A and B are shown apart, each in its own frame.
Chain A
Amino acid sequence: MANSKFMATVSPHLHEKGQTIDRAMRDVLIALTPAALWAIIVFGFNAFLVMLVSIVTAMLTEVVMRWILGRKATLKDLSAVLTGLFLAFLLPVTTPLWVVAIGSFLAVGVAKELFGGLGKNIFNPALFGRVALMISPLWIYTAKFVEPFWWRGIGFFSPIHTSINNAVSGRVIYKTFTGGVVNATTSATPLSLLKSGKMLTNTVTGPTPVGATWLTSNGRPSGWSLFLGLKSGSLGEVSVLLLLVGACYLLYRRTIDWRIPVGVLGGALFIFLITWNHPLYQMLSGGIWLGALYMATDWVSSPVSRRAKWIYAVGIGVFIGLVRLYSPWPEGVAISILIWNVLTLLLDRYVAVPKFGEVKKPLFNRLPAFPKPKPIRVEEKA
């Protein structure tokens, strides 16, 4: 009896049940499921293909990159699956699958693995992939949005085989694999309507949209269709309702911190209110809910202390408002979050959190940003 061996590890000897990285990733995947199903319903079977290609490429990239870099395989923590799904959520359904694959490779291969793997990445990988496509010559392939239920005319399963014939007029040729060619006009997103001023003047023209309920009689989407998800846009961003349902689950599971979505939405609302620029439309359009609930709350690329989280979240919200109103782009969620991903490095270092019982504490830490390099001894060869 006296010599039986036990496990000798450092305290504490208990661990919170269900508090693991893979469980958190699984939770987010569960939360995204309603929005993913809705994307397939609204945008057709092609939406499923975009997600599939994105996820499979992400997984392959992770396996290959980690093998090249000599790291342990971590496929089962599901982070690659999640990044792939997130990237697909940020792309319009018309994106050619090879462009999706490139974006997914950039997200996982560059933004995650080359930065050091899960936990070391500075940027939200999916947003990095999306913006990398946006600022590359491939941007034209990721900028064409279609109306909801566009597939009614040609069939749910008809694959899109996109080619660009005229970037200026925004016409896209959809081909089916059977050889038939469907010519359709791309749809403006609510935000591009706002940006071009058409929302104000009610001069939306063009052929009667398929699924006419998404437009009100004066030619612009109603608030309800924006909220429920009857609008054009990227795959995952269209239904505010379903994103909220998923986020409620994540809040219940305490996977995400409520401070970040509240800060982001509050910051953006503040800008839209003081400029009085269609606050309701602005808040219900574009990727702000997807960004606030799922992208800004990414563990790795957001700050850790609650104080820094508030600054980060409100900062993102304000930046979204400013980009939408005062830049050439209609949408600014991705770029705002990426900017604050970088600023997170500074927030983490310098936003001071008083220790228990500490009365006077400066707001910011005084601490060398770059520690002195360790002296390198150069050995001279005889």
Chain B
Amino acid sequence: MSKQGFKTFKGGIHPPYNKELASGKAITRAPVPAELVIPLNQHIGAPNEPLVSPGDRVTVGQKIGGTDAFVSAPVHSSVAGTVKAIEDRPSFTGQIAKSVVITADAEQPAFEGKPSKPLGELTADDIREIAKEAGLVGMGGAAFPTHVKLSPPKDKPVDTVIINAAECEPFLTCDHRTMLERPSDLVEGLKLLMKAVGAKKGIIGIEANKMDAVDTVRSHVSAEPTIEVDVCDVKYPEGSEKQLIWALTGRKVPPGKLPSEVGCLVQNVGTAVALFEAATMGKPLYERVLTVSGQGIKEPANLRVLVGTPASVLVEAAGGMVSGAAKLIMGGPMTGWAQEDDTASVVKGTSGIVALPPELVDVRDEHACVRCGKCVDVCPMTLMPNFIVDSVQKEEWEKAELWGAVDCFECGCCSFTCPAYIPHVDYVRKAKAEIAALKKR
């Protein structure tokens, strides 16, 4: 047991959480922007082809991009409107992404859809099909197609489905609010996930800084003997898949393996709720809840946002930006992407928009490593971040792999605590790219 007395893992850090900025704000609907930019590829896997052409009329929830490949997720229009163009636009990662640009109609009809079958009659295959058609992906940030996760290899049965409600990223409160406002939908979504993989147990893992959510969700699972709500230590990265599985079940996923290796499946709160909506209303994943927060935002808020909405509209919806804000981040402040401007649009995996004033931005020149070993102590994967950096600097890619570059999931604990201000994550990404290129050869 840990210092805080809850379930936890080894390593990790305690960043300033600043959750109170937005945790008390109920989820509200963000305005419909005049123009939406929907990237065709918002998932990990095979690229989508556009299914519409410029000038076409589209309706809410219409599929506008898809592919026959298994590891993929289709994208849907989030508004009724006209396709203006299909062109390359800079995405939130700074890379160029093929996107569908849609001009929204002034009047937006409500989404109309109906379930394929009553909830009770759905089979495991039905649920997988629903998840695929709805374009569900992991909504915590990684955006891995959900139906692929729901199809574990036959020889590795999944017995436990875990809902990742740790929400360990500072500032973000969208999962917290979702649990408070839609606990029964979450539990229903979890039951669908359990049915899809034939799991006998469901665990909802919540960090101890959200005790109100723990109470709310617990009251909704009191009648469910197979589902339990577990409280985790407040520590980053508690919400990392492997760390959460270890904390909640005591099982360790081996390096390079998937959670199904130890009979687990992890899904985000948003994903579970989205699966419930897809099963009961036939609603595809074209909108999500995200948090707009940070000391650089005037009125932090939790917003229900249409995929494709530019960040500027959401910042405006949250009262605008404090003058002189130095950083705008899509995602959480530990793993998110810093933006050069506010034009990038929200995708399925965007869990937040965080603006930081200059006094909270601590960027300095990189010093030579002083070998303090703090990065090694905090690394939740027990890798050697300092030696990965050293190997990358010397371009010794085999060594970089030995020290664990490939196993790194880029949580950023090492850089957070590094007295020399070394951007480890940058080096790790470089190492990953080089190692992948070497293996292809």
A-side residues, CB < 8 A to B, are 1-17, 19-21, 23-24, 77, 116-120, 257, 299-306, 309, 348, 353-359, 365, 367, 371
Contact = CB atoms under 8 A, between A and B. Distances in A.
20 contacts: A1-B312, A6-B326, A6-B328, A6-B340, A7-B327, A10-B423, A11-B410, A12-B415, A12-B416, A14-B334, A15-B416, A21-B367, A119-B368, A120-B368, A257-B373, A304-B371, A306-B376, A356-B383, A357-B257, A371-B399
B426 interface: yes
A8 B328 CA distance: 8
Contacts of A365: 402
Nearest to B406: A355
A21 B374 CA distance: 12
A33 B356 CA distance: 38
Contacts of A4: 341-342
A356 B373 CA distance: 17
Contacts of A6: 325-328, 338-342
A24 B370 CA distance: 11
B373 A5 contact: no
B336 A14 contact: no
Nearest to A354: B382
Contacts of A367: 399, 402
Interface of B: 13, 15-16, 94, 170, 242, 246, 252-255, 257, 312, 316, 325-329, 331, 333-343, 354, 356, 360-364, 367-374, 376-377, 380-384, 386-387, 394, 396, 399, 402, 404, 407, 410-413, 415-421, 423, 425-426, 429
Which of A2, A8, A118, A309 is the most central at the interface, judged by chain B CB atoms within 10 Å of its CB? A8
A301 B338 CA distance: 36
Nearest to A79: B370
Contacts of A116: 368
Which of A13, A15, A358 is the most central at the interface, judged by chain B CB atoms within 10 Å of its CB? A13
Q: Give 3 nearest A-B pairs by CB, closest first.
A: A12-B412, A119-B368, A304-B373
A11 B412 contact: yes
Given A7-B326, A300-B370, A305-B376, 20 more contacts: A1-B312, A4-B341, A8-B338, A9-B327, A9-B363, A9-B423, A10-B338, A11-B333, A11-B410, A12-B412, A14-B16, A14-B360, A15-B421, A21-B419, A117-B368, A305-B373, A306-B376, A353-B376, A355-B383, A356-B407
A15 B386 contact: no
Which of B333, B364, B376 is the most central at the interface, judged by chain A CB atoms within 10 Å of its CB? B376
Contacts of B417: 16, 19
A309 B338 contact: no
B337 A1 contact: no
Contacts of B413: 12
Contact of A13 (B253, B356, B367, B396): B356
